[in-house]
Amino acid sequence: MKEHMFDEIIEKKLTGSVKWDGLKQLYGSDTLIPMWVADMDVRPPDSITEALTKRVASGHFGYSLFEERAKKSIQSWFLKRYNQQIEQTSLLYSSGVVSALAHTLLALTDEGDEVIIQTPVYPPFHQIIHANRRQLIENPLRLIGERYEIDFLALESQMKTAKMLILCSPHNPTGRVFNQDELQTIVDLAKKYDVYLLSDEIHADLVFSGHTHHPILEFPYEKSILVSAPSKTFNIPGLYASYLIVPNEEIRTKIEQVQQAHFVHPNAIASTAIIAAYEDPMSERWLKDLLVYLEQNRDHAIKRIQSEMPLLTVVKPDATFLLWVDFEQLGLTDEERASWLVEQASLALTHGKPFGENGVTFERLNFGCPRRQLDEALDRLHSAYLALPLD
């Protein structure tokens, strides 16, 4: 493959990286290739790095506002990419998407209220519901062939008594991009049963060819709330530069009250990051190139797994930089597989069990990295696979 800017191997050890420096604590070994947590091993756009460097050089680190220019850049991004008009008054800052989800949950539901999630799904969805003593209702996605589909009959039954549905769109870990008809049906059911729709759209900009992301706000409903950030798109998750879009004033006020109770304030460089990500043409050109690279990585990884490790089943993602791989046919228990991956394959993957009971036999693999790193990880997995006593 022709050398590409995303082929650069970046040294992240001893940088305080959770992904790299947390291996010993989380997996028991620091010799693993970390292909787990959802941040990429690529440099963010120079446009963002340069803007942050200039901001830091200014020496201004006082308490900061959610700047008007940052809000305007979000408006511009949604208009340009999704043809969505966003009112500036509807925007709230959040110190992370998970924080935004938790604060919205606290603002709009009470203890004991039923909250629906579509499993297998990002583990913090489970955690914020349990931690805040809401009742978790699973609406399992159905794996039909190698593609996940929504069980609308079950969803309608669950919505009759639920207070909120937390949607992951595009979906993590399956990579599904829900189409217009699916999202319209979800909104119609929410309207019918008066259910809040809280949509995590942090992977919205990482959609591959042949698929189109539709923001939940495209479907008019006063009880819809969208949460997002440039963090996954531009590989800046550690900046916690996130936001909510809450068109309904009454709902927005309730969320703001919870945020104030938890002392949510923008950090000094959040607005700078958002502006550089969403305004600078160089950032968008970088993203265009990244999407090509990620799609090639996705196809390369799937081809290798299917040809070299046929007992593994891969769910081909429409979006994200995450592969959802089923290890069930290896005949290992969840605990045995976790040990095997560390001790025999020398890999750190994200185990499927925390995503829901229908994820127990799966592992999530992050392919947002240089091709060399991806191939080394797949080489290790292949060697461990060949050493198994398979029939």
Residue 379 has pLDDT above 80, yes or no: yes
Residue 391 lies in a domain: no
- Give 37's contacts (C-beta < 8 A, 6+ positions apart): 18, 19, 350, 366
Q: Return the DSSP state at 207.
A: B
Residue 82 lies in a domain: yes
| Residue 22 to residue 51: CA distance in whole angstroms | 29
Give backbone dihedrals phi and psi of 313, rounded to 5 degrees, phi first.
-115, 125
| Residue 124 to residue 101: CA distance in whole angstroms | 9
Q: What is the CATH number of the domain that holds 381?
A: 3.90.1150.10
Do residue 82 and residue 156 come from a single domain?
Answer: yes
Do residue 219 and residue 356 come from a single domain?
Answer: no
Do residue 15 and residue 116 come from a single domain?
Answer: no
169-189 pLDDT, tens digit each: 999 999 999 999 999 999 999
Distances (CA, A) of 184 to 178, 206, 214, 351: 10, 21, 10, 32
Do residue 261 and residue 158 come from a single domain?
Answer: yes
Biggest distance spanned by C-alpha atoms of the chain = 64
| Residue 43 to residue 52: CA distance in whole angstroms | 14
Domain of 255 in residue numbering reads as 47-281
279-327 pLDDT, tens digit each: 999 999 999 999 999 999 999 999 999 999 999 999 999 999 999 999 9
Structure-block tokens of residue 49? 């790095």
Run of H or E including 174: none
Residue 144 lies in a domain: yes
344-370 pLDDT, tens digit each: 999 999 999 999 999 999 999 999 999
Do residue 102 and residue 211 come from a single domain?
Answer: yes
Run of H or E including 76: helix 68-82
| Residue 109 to residue 133: CA distance in whole angstroms | 10
> pTM score, two decimals?
0.96
